[in-house]
């Protein structure tokens, strides 16, 4: 079984997240995408919604697609959650499965600052997806991959859609260019602060949940 592990704060989840999961699943022929909303991540700011609310929003956003599922493995932790521990637990739970850890360019560049990064890169294959305002060429400075800078530039220009190479620790890394969607959780929170509509940026069920719970300092 091939499982995509898509972690994040999902603060809130939106169509950019869902489209990315859809494309990665299709391109890699994954059996499932497991969304893992963070509990108390060690490096996020003050405007992070309660873990319970973020978990519920991801459930609402994904329930219509059978191959999308949501894990509460981090949400239920009382202490800070670290990706290295999450992947270890998922390995134990899905014995024999091949795990694909999905994250954006910006997150992968920051991997050296994560908890036990040398161990982390041995636990799964990594799928690094395109993100607005970030370039694959920026990965050339990563200590965990050896990639031809010309190939990374071809990814950025759209001349190739994906590139697979070795990851330190014996795993693989797949860099993947996805359909660009200019939606971000930051934008959604900003619109809510301003009392503006967030319709068509995220599923209606999530929009209704945010409004009914008056989240993100919603102006009414």
pLDDT for residue 75 = 86
Answer yes or no: is pLDDT of 43 > 70: no
Answer yes or no: is pLDDT of 133 > 60: yes
CATH of 2-181, one of 2.70.98.60, 3.30.70.20, 3.30.450.20, 3.40.50.620: 3.40.50.620
Mean pLDDT of 143-160: 93
Mean pLDDT of 14-39: 97
Mean pLDDT of 192-204: 95
Query: How many Å apart are CA 136 and CA 114, to the nearest integer?
Result: 20
Query: How many Å apart are CA 11 and CA 49, to the nearest integer?
Result: 7
Report residue 131 as tokens: 């993100």
- Assign 170 a pLDDT band (cuts: 50, 70, 90): confident
- If you average pLDDT over each of 26-30, 46-50, 190-194, which comes out highest? 26-30
pLDDT for residue 41 = 64
Sorted by where each begins, the domain ranges of the chain are: 2-181
Closest CA to 130 of 201, 12, 24: 24
Answer yes or no: is pLDDT of 175 > 80: yes
pLDDT for residue 125 = 97
- Assign 218 a pLDDT band (cuts: 50, 70, 90): low
Q: What is the pLDDT of residues 50-91, one digit of tens each?
A: 999 999 999 999 999 999 999 999 988 878 889 999 999 999
Q: φ and ψ at 166, to 5 degrees?
A: -80, 145
pLDDT for residue 217 = 75
Q: What separation in angstroms does the CA of 174 have from each of 24, 56, 69, 195? A: 10, 30, 22, 40
Report residue 168 as tokens: 């330190």
User: Do the Cβ atoms of 139 and 145 come closer than 8 Å?
Assistant: yes
pLDDT for residue 46 = 60
Mean pLDDT of 161-178: 94
Report the mean per-residue pLDDT for the chain. 93
Closest CA to 3 of 23, 27, 22, 31: 31
- Assign 183 a pLDDT band (cuts: 50, 70, 90): very high
């Amino acid at each position: 079984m091939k499982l995509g592990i898509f972690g994040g704060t999902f603060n809130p989840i939106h169509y950019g997240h869902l489209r990315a999961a859809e494309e990665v699943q299709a391109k890699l022929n994954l059996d499932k995408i497991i969304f893992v909303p963070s509990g108390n991540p060690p490096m996020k700011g003050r405007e992070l919604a309660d873990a319970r609310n973020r978990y519920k929003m991801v459930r609402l956003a994904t329930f219509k697609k059978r191959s999308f599922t949501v894990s509460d493995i981090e949400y239920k932790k009382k202490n800070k959650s670290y990706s290295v521990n999450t992947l270890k637990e998922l390995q134990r739970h899905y014995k024999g499965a091949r795990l694909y850890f999905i994250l954006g360019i910006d997150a992968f560049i920051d991997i050296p600052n994560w908890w036990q990064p040398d161990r982390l890169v041995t636990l799964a294959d990594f799928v690094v997806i395109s993100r607005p305002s970030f370039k694959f060429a920026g990965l050339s400075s990563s200590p965990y991959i050896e990639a031809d800078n010309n190939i990374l530039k071809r990814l950025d220009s759209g001349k190739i859609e994906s590139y697979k190479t070795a990851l330190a620790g014996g795993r693989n890394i797949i860099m993947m260019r996805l359909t660009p969607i200019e939606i971000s959780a930051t934008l959604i929170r900003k619109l809510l602060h301003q009392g503006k509509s967030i319709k068509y940026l995220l599923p209606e069920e999530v929009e209704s949940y945010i409004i009914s719970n008056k989240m993100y300092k919603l102006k009414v």
